[in-house]
Amino acid sequence: MLTRPQCSSTLLRHLTEIDGLIYKMHRLKIPRQLTLLIQSYLKNRNLTLRVEKELSTLRSTYRVVQGSRLGPHCFNIFINDICQMPNTQLALFADDTAIMGTGPDKTSNVTNLNNHLAELEKWLIRWKIKINADKCQAVFFTRARKLPPPPPNYTDESFHGATKLST
C-alpha cells in the first residue's frame, strides 16, 4: 500500500529586538558606519503630539518603522541565524515564519515539528523575540478524515490547536 506523506506547518509572527540586531550586524561584519547609522535611526526616536497649542514629546519604543524600506533588510539580518532542523523547512516572509514538515505519518510529522519548536523557543528566548500568540496556529494538510491530536507544544496557551484544511 502506497502511503502519502503528510504536511504540517506552524505560523509565527515576531517582533525584533534592536540591540540584538546591532550585535548581529557587528557579527556579520557589516561596516561600522552603516551599523551606527542604522542604530541612530532605530534608537531614541521621539514622537511629538500637538493638541491645540500644547506640544508633548513622547519617547517611542525601539523598533523598525513599519512599512519602511529598511525594515525587511533589518529583519533579514536579524533572522540570519534562525535555527534549522533536518526534518523541517522554514519559510520566512516579512515578520512571518512558517515551519513545515512532511513525513510518512502524522506522528513523525508532529514529532519533527515539536523538535523544531523546542529549538526555535531557545533561539527566541536568546534574542528576546516575542511571539504574537493570537496569530499562531498549527495547520495539517491531509487527505485523511481524522486529524491527529494536537501536538503538546500547540495545546499550550501560546498555540491554538489544529485546523483541518481539506484538499
Residue 154 maps to a domain: no
Q: Report residue 155 as a C-alpha cell.
A: 495545546
Number of domains forming the structure of the chain: 2
Pair (74, 20) in one structural domain:
yes
Long-range CB contacts (within 8 A, 24+) of 37-45: 38/70, 38/74, 41/70, 42/18, 42/74, 43/18
**Position 91, amino acid:** A
Tens of pLDDT along the chain (167 residues) come to: 555 555 544 444 444 567 888 899 999 999 999 999 888 888 766 667 778 888 776 665 556 666 778 877 888 888 889 989 988 998 887 678 889 988 788 788 888 888 888 888 888 888 877 777 778 887 777 777 776 666 555 444 444 343 333 33
Q: Tell how far CA 50 is from the center of its chain.
A: 36
- CA–CA separation, 77 vs 37, rounded Å? 15
Structural domain harbouring 35: 13-80
Pair (72, 110) in one structural domain:
no
Q: What is the pTM of this model?
A: 0.65
Residue 127 maps to a domain: yes
- CA–CA separation, 5 vs 13, rounded Å? 27
- CA–CA separation, 75 vs 71, rounded Å? 6
State the CB neighbour count (10 A cutoff) for residue 28: 11
